[in-house]
Amino acid sequence: MRTLKVALLGCGVVGTEVARIMTTHAADLAARIGAPVELAGVAVRRANRPRPGIPEQLLTTDATELVKRDDIDVVIEVIGGIEPARSLILTAFDHGASVVSANKALLAADGAALHGAALKAGVDLYYEAAVAAAIPLVRPLRESLAGDKVNRVLGIVNGTTNFILDKMDSTGAGYSEALEEATALGYAEADPTADVEGFDAAAKAAILAGIAFHTRVTAADVFREGITEVTAADIASAKAMGCVVKLLAICERSADGRSVTARVHPAMIPLTHPLASVRGAYNAVFVEADAAGQLMFYGPGAGGSPTASAVLGDLVAVCRNKLAGSTGPGESAYAQLTVSPMDDVVTRYHVSLDVADKAGVLAQVATVFAEHGVSIDTVRQQGREGDASLVVVTHRATDAALSATVAELRSLDNVRDVASIMRVEGE
């Protein structure tokens, strides 16, 4: 039986680990696939850098020529970003190669076009590693739950932000201190913007929502709010409520089933919720479906080895399809549900106000909430030298109603500041 040849695009932390596993586990991979699999070329930016374990003759700086080779069966793309990754993937499809990718940003931005090109070429596009590294999510949603109706996907899908928030919760550290420690330990990049501002999680949310609800969802459809404004006071308020703060990716089907929402933002969740116990740089995703009920997927969501594990799992599946002359499941967007804006989302809120410590202030604040149809669940007030801290926790309300409430509160003479607003999830 012929040897299946693989081109690897990118040889950073993940690419190096993919190459290592392909070499050291070659016999096992061949047994599982049903044919030998060979690393036929590795595209890198600089070929003169030492790369232990990778034969020098496999290295090339011409990625385009590598994916154009007629003998390449599968292309593994782990370079990230939009370009040149998109052009290289499309070129690989044009030349009959299936693609395994870990590129969440590209898939969230242009997944529909990539799926269409793969379908036209009669090849596979697999991307388990794009969402949560070694944690199996894409395949369970796309295949295992294909006969079920998924209603909600709620998860922690970024290890960097989870580490930072966990450190703030467990040590009382401020955001800057926790970020500094995450950087020193290698959990945060030198430029952590994609993580701490929620871009990484938003891309993953778009991918998960698209698969779960059979609807095209892009990163632009996802409401995004990062963790840079989360303070030690917010963490303390959460503790007082028996909650913990997490950056959540939340994808939901509306009650009438006609629309979906996708959002990423910090939220307080009760300590009794399974996601509350997810510590450090770990990820976890909670899935709710009609027949299957509640499912939770947990594990390391980043890193060279975990991500390479997901890449190799896809490689085995794609190679098996090649041998069988078939392809796996592609895009499923038949439902074409409307993606609703954040204004329509209904949730609970924790609002912290700095107010004048005067009689009647609480009644004035409560009236503003009532005028906008936002029902109050609990209120906690603490006075301090002429001013007071007022914490209001609402019942469920739309984001639009809460925004209008806050806008009017800011105009009141007795409200010094709206110190923080945070959503409350997982009730």
- Cβ 410 vs Cβ 370: under 8 Å: no
Cα angle 109, 110, 115; round to 5 = 140
Active site residue 204: yes
Q: How far is residue 160 from each of residues 48, 71, 131, 183, 198, measured CA to CA in Å?
A: 32, 39, 14, 9, 10
Quote the CA–CA distance of 422 and 399 in Å, as a whole number: 11
Q: Of 188, 181, 155, which is closest to residue 283 (Cα–Cα)? A: 155
**Look-up: residue for tokens 């190669």?**
97
What are the φ/ψ torsions at residue 87 (nearest 5 degrees)? Answer: -60, -40
**Helices 159-171 + 175-184 axis angle, to 10:** 120
The residue type at 421: I
Q: Of 9, 102, 103, which is closest to residue 58 (Cα–Cα)? A: 9
Which residues partner with 91 through β-bridges? none
Cα angle 6, 7, 10; round to 5 = 135
Classify residue 227 by its DSSP letter: S
Quote the CA–CA distance of 64 and 68 in Å, as a whole number: 6
Give the helix/strand (H/E) hosting 193. helix 193-196
Given 104, 204, 246, 322, which residue is catalytic? 204
Which residues partner with 126 through β-bridges? 100
Quote the CA–CA distance of 45 and 40 in Å, as a whole number: 17
Bond preceding residue 329 cis, omega within 30 of 0: no
Q: Which residues are catalytic?
A: 204
